[in-house]
Amino acid sequence: MQTVYLDHASATPVRKPVLDAMLPYLEEHYANPSTVYDMGARIKLVIEEQRAKVAELIGAQAGEIVFTSSGAEANNLAVKGTVQARKKKGNHIIVSAVEHHSVLNSARFFERMDYEVTFLPVDQHGLVDPQRLSKAITSETVLVSIMHANNEIGTIEPIPELAAICREKGVLFHTDAVATVGNVPVDVNELNVDLLSLSGISLGAPKGIGVLYFRDKLRLMPLIHGGIQENGRRGGTENVPAIVGLGKAAEIAKQELTEKMAHVRRLRDLLVCGIDERVEKVTFTGHPDKRLPGHASFCFEAIEGEALVYMLAQYGIYTNTGSACASKALKTSPVLGAIGLPAALAQGSSVFSIDRNNTREEIEFVLDKLPQAVDRLRSMSPIWGKDIPVYEEDACT
C-alpha cells in the first residue's frame, strides 16, 4: 500500500546524512565529554562544533546556544528560567492564547504562585495585535512569549514588531520557533528576540534534542541542576549522538531552505485548491498568506477530525488534527477556540504539513481519497446537513 506522510509538524524522518553523522557517536566515540582525558576532550570539541552550526542557522553566536532534550524543555527553560531570574523586577507574564502547551502550562505554573498572567487573544486568523500587546505590558511585566508560527493553523506572527515593543519597554521577549526553523528563514537579530526555542524533531534530526537561544549576557536560572554542562545552564551528560544529528540537520537545512520553501508551497497550494474544488462545507484555518509554506489546515463540517485521521490512515495517508501534544485529549482545540470557531466545527479539524520529500503524485493521491473519506464520515454523521456557522475564506487564489 502506498504511504503518504503529511504530518511533518509532529515529526520529520531522520535524514540519511544525519544518521550517518550520528552513528560513530553511538558505536566508536562513546566517552563522556566532561572527562579530562583526550577521548572525552575530542567529543567535547565535537559538541562545540555542532553548537556553532546550529547558531549559524539562526544568526546567533555559539555561546548563546543551550542544548535541551526537546522544544518543550527549551520553552520551559525560557519561561521559568528568565522569570525566576527576574523575580525582583516584577510578577507579570504575557503569552498568547495560541501558544504550545509547554508555554501555556509554564505560565500557569507561575499563575499558581500568585504571578499575574495575561493570555493575549488573537484575531480569526490567529494573529496577535501589536497594539493589544503594547497596552497589556505594565511596569511589572518581566517576560512576553509569543510563538513564531502556530503548528496547528500555520499562522506566522509579526515577531519583529512585537519584539520591538518589548525591547522599547525593557521587557524580555521569547518566541517558540519550533515550527519555523528549517521551514522559513529565521534570524534572531532580524526577529529582535531575547530567547528562541527550536527542536530537532522539525529539522530531520532525531527526537530528544532541542535548543534554547538566549541573548548574550542574559541571566537564566537552570531547570535541571547538576554539573557544569552547558556552562551550568543545564545539568546532565549531553546527548552527543543527537547533538551531532542536530548539527548536521542544521547544516542541511541552511543549504536547502530556499528550494524547499518553493517546493512545499507548490504542493500546499495544489492541496488547498484541490480540497476547495472537491469538498463542500470546509473552512480553511489560519492566515491565508502569512503562514508556513508547507502547512494547510482545515475544519470539515459535521465530522470528527480523529475519525478522519483514522480513515485516511486506512489508505496509507497520515495527517493529524492539531498539536501532537494534545491530539489524544479529545477536547476542542484551544487554538481553534481562540480564533473563534464554533466547537462543533472545530471538532472536524485536520492538519496537513508537507516537507521536501513529498511529491505531486502523493498530493493527487490525497485529493482522490480525501473526498471519499469525508463523504463516508458525513453519511454517518447525525449533524450533517444542519446549519453550522463557518468562516468564508478564499483559501485558493
Nearest to 160 by CA among 132, 194, 183: 194
- Give me the percent of the chain exceeding a pLDDT of 90: 89
Q: Is 227 exposed, middle or buried (0-12, 13-18, 19+ CB in 10 A)?
A: exposed
Please report the pLDDT score of residue 375 as a whole number.
95
**Segment holding 66, helix H or strand E:** strand 65-68
The 10s digit of each residue's pLDDT in 29-49 is: 999 999 999 999 999 999 999
Whether residue 328 is predicted with pLDDT greater than 60 in this model: the reply is: no
Whether residue 282 is predicted with pLDDT greater than 60 in this model: the reply is: yes
CA pair distance 239, 33, nearest whole angstrom = 10
Do the strands 141-145 and 92-96 form a parallel or antiparallel pair, or are they unpaired?
Answer: parallel
User: Residue 389: which pLDDT band, with cuts at 50, 70 and 90?
Assistant: low
- Domains, the chain, in order of start with CATH, read 4-10+257-379 (3.90.1150.10), 16-253 (3.40.640.10)
Q: Supply 291's cell numbers.
A: 503562514
Asked if 393 contacts 284 with a C-beta cutoff of 8 angstroms, the reply is: yes
Mean pLDDT of 137-163: 98
Global pTM? 0.94
Mean pLDDT of 366-376: 97
Mean pLDDT of 263-272: 98
Please report the pLDDT score of residue 395 as a whole number.
61
**Segment holding 138, helix H or strand E:** none
- Give the chain's mean pLDDT: 94
How many CB atoms are closer than 10 A to CB 316?
Answer: 14
Whether residue 393 is predicted with pLDDT greater than 80 in this model: the reply is: no
Whether residue 271 is predicted with pLDDT greater than 70 in this model: the reply is: yes
CA pair distance 14, 10, nearest whole angstrom = 13
Asked if 163 contacts 133 with a C-beta cutoff of 8 angstroms, the reply is: no
Whether residue 368 is predicted with pLDDT greater than 70 in this model: the reply is: yes
Mean pLDDT of 236-243: 96
Helix axes 38-58, 240-278, angle to 10 degrees: 30
**CB under 8 Å to 109, separation ≥6 — which residues?**
80
Q: Supply 84's cell numbers.
A: 525566576
CA pair distance 233, 216, nearest whole angstrom = 13
**CA distance readout (Å), 86 to 73, 141, 143:** 19, 10, 9
Residue 325 falls in the annotated catalytic set? yes
The 10s digit of each residue's pLDDT in 96-128 is: 999 999 999 999 999 999 999 999 999 999 999
The 10s digit of each residue's pLDDT in 52-100 is: 999 999 999 999 999 999 999 999 999 999 999 999 999 999 999 999 9
Please report the pLDDT score of residue 327 as a whole number.
47
DSSP string, 153-213: T-BBP-HHHHHHHHHHHT-EEEEE-TTTBTTB---HHHHT-SEEEEEGGGTTSPSS-EEEE
The 10s digit of each residue's pLDDT in 182-216 is: 999 999 999 999 999 999 999 999 999 999 999 99
The DSSP output letter for 149 is B
Whether residue 307 is predicted with pLDDT greater than 80 in this model: the reply is: yes
Mean pLDDT of 299-306: 94
Whether residue 336 is predicted with pLDDT greater than 50 in this model: the reply is: yes
* Higher-pLDDT residue of 188, 387: 188
Nearest to 244 by CA among 45, 34, 78: 45
Catalytic residue among 166, 299, 325, 396: 325
